[in-house]
A and B are shown apart, each in its own frame.
Chain A
């Protein structure tokens, strides 16, 4: 368990145990960790990524956030491989966001999302490992009076080839740390990798087996108070009146506070006391202009967008309208998917302490840099007076890239100066105040010629734009390119379609939207891949063969689709009553495909029997963790297929907890067989690419089983009995 003490400035300093970060003494920075410096006095930093201890144990610094996706382990593998470190001696430590801030973001962008953890930092973290190895070799060579080229490194030791003399990294670290950090070192060829490509065990498992892992919700600080919060249930509404006096005398209650202009919090000795008092608190809300909006109204608005004249064009090949008029057969389908909450199992929470010296927060964040900025803004102090303690996330999935809960915790703590306050959202608060996967609809029209070839495809998206809603500066002349994930030339798998038009009618709502694992790939892949399946059936052709003919310009997509189909035995008999569906996608830098095997009973009960998932992420850093991410993607993606949906009544989210926002449980989990076909030459993402193929593979299999084309999700409540 983490030990937490007050240092002389009144700031709280956390020790390295339990995954809390500790700032090492770094060249060029003034950062030390108070009383902790002495304990690590002999550890030496070689550059900014690697710290070597006298016993050879090696601390690798990680700037990205661990939320279960295995990035701590994967990034450490990249550094340790170039470092030639003994993997058994490697541990990791988070870079403190304030250190990144004060050193001009020396550790790069801390934002962790978009499956970018490895693929955007792979070059500079490997450089960090390679530079440290070069320094250690140079130090050894200097001791021996040898030239570095005659020395080799392996397993945390340098060997002089001619004499066989060896020095351990721990013996060399002090001298090596005094050498200049080389600017650019040649990286290993893939053939020389020892750790990259190995399914080594995760570095963060032990504490997750016995309750010792400290998540933000578990932080314990001296004199800490606990806060429960209620936000205006209607998005965009404000806090009206509340009767603090009525709950002030309840057990443990210390304060009843307004939080910004839209929330109220009760601060108490314990969270249960705070929550109980908050439930008793009479609050009136100024619900604002959105208080009458319902899901039905939003659906009508999106439906209008499906045929609206104006739409932002994302992808155009040839002339769809002319080609469509010449088609022998036309097929049309209208699809829709709902708002979805991330529902991380650890609800949003943050602990904050505001003193005369500044503000300190303890939080699970996907973006340490942004958390630092948000805390500074909320506390109204300079960035230099903020300290952010990043903790392991109890799930992220995109939700913890937002800073709303950090801002709130600081606004509360500001009103209770000198005492840390841990604010925890109830599950209901979490469910009803998310940044939801956007609601969208899609109308597709395809034209087939007399031979059953697809000659024209029009895909009209209508719905909420994430960028227009939260980052309007990233819109390009009314175009949200992110809304077209999987559909633009760099990712679209069917570039041989001769006439193509994909456009988007932006129809925003008052509901906050954000990046939900897989983001817009989720619904776009459902629309495209299910409709391609519809076209194949309309053409009387096999869904695999129909796709293959359209993928002649997309060899990597095709290879992965073929790999999935081959492993699943596409075209071979299934068990009686079991049917297959397949699909493919390209996103977050990786190619994925899946085959699902399902059955639907006479009573309409769906059973998922088997999933085969193939992916090409270029280089596979840790195949065992990729397998875990692929399987997990199906659970997250299929929860959305089977059950999950957020609906609106009177401007607010209806669902409050896991009884109404259901998710998949173990009994429904099909066997997932992963097929990794890394083709090399690029670094693709892993955490998100596969989720896009989860839903369409199953939906296409349901059609094969029943003849019923499911065009809106979730399946809950839909009649799947055979058509």
Chain B
């Protein structure tokens, strides 16, 4: 039995402890906002927060999760997290598949560095977007930072 605190709710789950957190979220708990993209922590589509730190859940065995997990579904009760607001204003998503991960990465960056420089954004935002929304992501992060200042 594995115990997980996800978005403030504690789940006791009968799963193989080697199962990556991503597949527990998706196939056990039906939380589909966190995406599978590569399975080797390269693309970031599976990004969640664990105790506030952005983590790629596709390569993390569920037995190794010790902190509180927040997924895209739990980022904000009303989808009004400053990152989500800025994403909407900048019309960031195209296909949208990577955006849960991008938003989680941006939210973690802003929690750590409320006024990130371009270099900070370069270093933190390593998630892959095949549609090519990078320019708008950068602009939206600066906007979200300004709105919190």
Chain A residues with CB under 8 Å of chain B are: 1, 67-70, 201-202, 204-215, 217-218, 220, 226, 251, 269-273, 343-347, 392-397, 424, 426-427, 624-625, 628, 631-636, 657-659, 663-667, 669, 671-672
Contacts and interface: CB of A to CB of B under 8 A. Distances in A.
A212 B34 CA distance: 10
Contact of A659 (B37, B42, B93, B123): B42
State the majority secondary structure of interface residues on A: loop
B32 A220 contact: yes
A209 B137 CA distance: 12
B100 A211 contact: yes
Contacts of A657: 38-40, 42
B147 interface: no
Given A206-B88, A209-B88, A272 B19 contact: yes
Contact of B73 (A211, A634, A658): A211
A135 B88 CA distance: 36
Contact of A395 (B30, B33, B71, B97): B97
A597 to B, nearest CB: 15
Contacts of A633: 132
18 contacts: A202-B91, A202-B93, A205-B96, A208-B93, A210-B79, A211-B33, A211-B34, A269-B27, A345-B35, A392-B96, A628-B91, A632-B131, A632-B132, A657-B42, A663-B130, A666-B138, A667-B123, A669-B134
B113 interface: no
B99 interface: yes
Contacts of A628: 91, 94, 133, 136
The 10 closest A-B pairs by CB, nearest first: A211-B33, A635-B132, A68-B95, A394-B97, A632-B132, A208-B96, A68-B94, A667-B122, A218-B32, A211-B72
B11 interface: no
A575 B93 CA distance: 33
Nearest to A638: B132
Residue in A68, A209, A273, A631 with the greatest tally of chain B CB atoms within 10 Å: A209
Given A201-B91, A217-B35, A345-B98, 13 more contacts: A209-B93, A210-B84, A212-B33, A220-B30, A270-B27, A272-B19, A344-B95, A393-B95, A636-B132, A658-B37, A663-B128, A666-B122, A667-B122
Nearest to A217: B36
B27 A427 contact: no
Interface in B74-131: 75-76, 79, 84, 87-88, 91, 93-100, 103, 121-123, 125-131
B37 A345 contact: yes
B118 to A, nearest CB: 9
B88 A272 contact: no
Contacts of B30: 220
B4 interface: no
A6 B100 CA distance: 30
Nearest to B138: A666
A270 B23 contact: yes
Given A215-B97, A657-B40, A669-B138, A344 B34 contact: no
B45 interface: yes
Given A344-B130, A659-B40, A210 B34 contact: no
A269 B16 CA distance: 12
B69 interface: no
B134 to A, nearest CB: 4
Contacts of B123: 667
A424 B36 CA distance: 10
B95 A347 contact: no
A345 B73 contact: no
Residue in B26, B87, B132 with the greatest tally of chain A CB atoms within 10 Å: B132
Contacts of A395: 95, 97, 130-131
A392 to B, nearest CB: 7
B113 to A, nearest CB: 15
Given A211-B33, A217-B36, A271-B23, A666 B125 contact: yes
A214 B32 CA distance: 8
Contacts of A213: 96
Interface string B17-60: 00110010011101111111111101101000000000000000
Contact of B94 (A69, A210, A251): A69
A397 B130 contact: yes
